[in-house]
Amino acid sequence: MAAGNPIRGSRIGAGRMGEADRGESAPRQRFEFFCANGHMTTLAFAMDAEVPDVWDCPRCGFPAGQDSGAPPPATRVEPYKSHLAYVKERRSDEDGEALLAEALARIEDKRTPRF
Q: What is the mean pLDDT of residues 73-83?
A: 87
Global model pTM greater than 0.75: no
H helical segments located in 1-115: 19-22, 83-90, 93-111
Would you say residue 18 has pLDDT above 60? no
- Residue 90 CA from chain centroid, whole number: 29
Band (4; pLDDT cuts 50, 70, 90): low
Phi/psi of residue 63, nearest 5 degrees: -70, 145
Least confident span in 6-15, 27-36, 78-87: 6-15
CA atoms of 88 and 55, how far apart (whole Å): 37
pLDDT tens-place string over residues 88-115 = 889 888 998 999 999 999 998 888 776 6
**Which domains does the chain carry?**
26-65 (2.20.28.270)
